[in-house]
């Protein structure tokens, strides 16, 4: 038991099955850089308050740098007996510099240590993910600008509703991913709180300076309550909630790409480098990237459910259950970072088929609402206008023609308010132009929205 850093109280060794079952090193080993960075800050603080000498601090910091290099170069073996990344680092440090290494843990516990590591790691991952999301927004803005004149049949209930600019459709995802970005940045504020100094749950009798450590590690605040500091995983739940919403947005986008690329739609083609073929059907070009991203949304939503269930029954303060918090968080961060990055690489190569999109928009009486609005502007109450246009649609449908193909005399028989100028709104371009208002789908307004979004991204870019 002398090999266990906590083994003094025990008369018997740990069962090997228990060692394997309780070890977390295969999961938390990725926290090595944060663990070492936090330990360096802790050691320097202990030196400044007089708990360690300058020579001891120098030896610890130098030794920790060597441990970090050994891990980077894959020269430090990870074993279940040492349980977690904290004990691996401290054990190897003591081997390198001797008993001075045993002083590093003065004034702290693995409880506040792991909470600090996890917050540091999460903060870095959020910064990376936000940058990728901002890049994805720029990709969509570029795509919107390229396709601002492309007419797309806008759908509700998966039925043709009104014609819109494909650029306008792209800008909807800019707004979704902007909200995702803002949620993650807001969560980052609550992640960026230092728990170190809470020790196991009740603080420490040593004269530590928590704000010194906070400044070294760029934390904006220190945790006020020591019990809450070591047991709080709200930041994990919040980040996972935000990632689950992001996953839903990516899944909705993926679903549209999959539908649009299918033969019944035929609106787009995705670049070959982001699609796969069939082992039996030589003609197939499958949107596998979009399908996999759509599938990962369920996985990330499951990660959120797992952490909520993990935390719901825990009393204060720290419990070993929390060892399970990392797998869900790491998994969701990994999946969303990869999904956002690959989507940002795939979409610039997307090719539209404007003729197919236009043909579909023309088949669905997409200008009917604009005809009703035209009649309202002529003085007809909207409900009456709705009924008039409904009858016009039925008439056109019976003849298998579009509204714009109905003779003026027949339209005037439905309403005398209809005159020759109505045909300007019965064609797709005229329908778009009739909705040339703030936030509308006309090209001029889409261009204005693109410019506003570019300016917003420039202001908010990390």
Residues 39, 241, 278, 431: which is the catalytic one? 278
Please write the tens of the pLDDT for every residue from 411-437.
999 999 999 999 999 999 999 888 876
Q: What per-residue confidence (pLDDT) applies to 9?
A: 76
Please write the tens of the pLDDT for every residue from 161-195.
999 999 999 999 999 999 999 999 999 999 999 99
Q: Can 157 be counted among the known catalytic residues?
A: yes
Q: What per-residue confidence (pLDDT) applies to 1?
A: 37
Output the average pLDDT for the chain: 95
Closest CA to 35 of 122, 116, 128: 116
* pLDDT higher than threshold 50 for residue 102: yes
* pLDDT higher than threshold 60 for residue 251: yes
The mean per-residue pLDDT over the stretch 201-215 comes to 98
The whole-angstrom separation of Cα 173 and Cα 171 is 5
Return the SS3 of 401: coil
* pLDDT higher than threshold 60 for residue 14: yes
Return the SS3 of 85: helix
Say if residue 317 is preceded by a cis peptide, omega within 30 of 0: yes
Q: Can 249 be counted among the known catalytic residues?
A: no
Residues across the chain = 462
The whole-angstrom separation of Cα 193 and Cα 212 is 13
Residues 157, 254, 297, 339: which is the catalytic one? 157
Cβ proximity of 133 and 145 under 8 Å: no
Pair of tokens at residue 217 = 């590690």
What does 235-272 look like in DSSP terms, one character per residue?
A: HHHHHHHHHHHHHHHHHHHHHHHHHHHSTTT--EE--G
Beta bridge partners of 193: 221
């Amino acid at each position: 038991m002398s090999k266990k850093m906590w083994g003094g109280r025990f008369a018997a060794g740990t069962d090997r099955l228990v060692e394997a079952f309780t070890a977390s090193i295969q999961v938390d080993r990725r926290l090595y850089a944060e663990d070492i960075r936090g330990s360096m800050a802790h050691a320097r603080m202990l030196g400044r308050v007089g708990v360690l000498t300058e020579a001891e601090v120098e030896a610890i910091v130098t030794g920790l740098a060597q441990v970090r290099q050994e891990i980077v170069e894959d020269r430090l073996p990870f074993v279940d007996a040492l349980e977690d990344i904290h004990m691996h680092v401290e054990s190897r440090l003591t081997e390198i510099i001797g008993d001075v290494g045993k002083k590093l843990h003065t004034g702290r516990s693995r409880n506040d240590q792991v909470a600090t590591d996890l917050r540091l790691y999460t903060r870095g991952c959020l910064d990376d993910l936000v940058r990728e999301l901002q890049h994805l927004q720029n990709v969509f803005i570029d795509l919107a600008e390229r396709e601002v004149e492309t007419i797309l049949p806008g759908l509700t209930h998966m039925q043709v509703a009104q014609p819109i600019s494909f650029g306008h459709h792209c800008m909807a995802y800019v707004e979704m991913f902007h909200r995702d970005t803002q949620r993650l940045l807001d969560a980052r504020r609550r992640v960026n709180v230092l728990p170190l100094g809470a020790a196991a749950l009740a603080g420490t009798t040593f004269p530590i300076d928590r704000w010194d450590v906070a400044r070294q590690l760029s934390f904006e605040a220190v945790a006020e309550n020591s019990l809450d500091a070591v047991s709080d995983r709200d930041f994990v739940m919040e980040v996972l909630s935000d990632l689950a919403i992001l996953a839903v947005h990516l899944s909705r986008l993926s679903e549209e790409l999959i539908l649009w690329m299918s033969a019944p739609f035929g609106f787009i083609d995705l670049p070959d480098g982001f699609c796969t073929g069939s082992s039996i059907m030589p003609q197939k070009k499958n949107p596998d990237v979009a399908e996999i991203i759509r599938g990962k949304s369920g996985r990330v939503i499951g990660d959120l459910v797992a952490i909520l269930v993990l935390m719901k029954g825990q009393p204060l303060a720290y419990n070993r259950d929390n060892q399970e918090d990392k797998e869900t968080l790491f998994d969701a961060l990994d999946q969303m970072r990869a999904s956002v990055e690959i989507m940002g690489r795939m979409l610039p190569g997307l090719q539209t088929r404007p003729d197919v999109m236009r043909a579909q928009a023309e088949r669905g009486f997409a200008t009917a609402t604009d005809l009703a609005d035209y009649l309202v502007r002529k003085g007809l109450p909207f409900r009456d206008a709705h009924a008039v246009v409904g009858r016009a649609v039925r008439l056109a449908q019976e003849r298998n023609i579009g509204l714009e193909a109905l003779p003026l005399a027949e339209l005037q028989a439905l309403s005398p308010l209809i005159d020759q100028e109505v045909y300007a709104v019965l064609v797709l371009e005229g329908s778009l132009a009739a909705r040339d208002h703030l936030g509308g789908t006309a090209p001029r307004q889409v261009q204005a929205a693109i410019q506003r979004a570019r300016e917003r991204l420039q202001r908010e870019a990390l």
